[in-house]
Structures are given as structure tokens and as C-alpha cells.
Amino acid sequence: MTQSLLTAAQVAQLLGVPKSWVYEQSRSGRIPTVTLGRYRRYRAESIGAWVEQLEESTQESDRMGRRRGVSK
């Protein structure tokens, strides 16, 4: 492990969302989380990859909508 783990507050700042949102996503299993006993921590690389995956799926949804003639 070359980089330290991030706290929920650091992830929230990185993503521009409330810390409570980060915890909610962690509890629901939607965001990559490292659980250390009662603590939740986050790898910056995993968060970055997760955001990229979300972005790709959003772009794919947008492309599929345009193919079907659905407009925003």
C-alpha cells in the first residue's frame, strides 16, 4: 500500500458531497469501502475507478437513449 487511506470527510470533499452521503453509500455497498473494525476508510484509486465506472455507465445510458429517440 503506497498511499494512505482516506476518511469519509476527505472523500466527501473530493466528490463535493456531504459526508453523510459518503457514509450512506458505504452502508449500502455502492461505494468502495475498506472496513477496519468500526471504521470506514477509502482508497483514492478505488474511488477514482468507481467514479470512472459511473461516468461510463452514464455515457452509455445517454447513447442508448439517443438511439431509441429519447431526448432529455
Confirm whether 47 is domain-assigned. Answer: yes
Q: Residue 35 is part of which domain span?
A: 8-66
Confirm whether 71 is domain-assigned. Answer: no
pLDDT for residue 35? 93
What would the pLDDT profile of 9-52 be if each residue is shown by its tens digit?
A: 999 999 999 999 999 999 999 999 999 999 999 999 999 999 99
Confirm whether 3 is domain-assigned. Answer: no
Number of domains in the chain: 1
How many Å apart are CA 50 and CA 31, to the nearest integer? 7
Confirm whether 20 is domain-assigned. Answer: yes
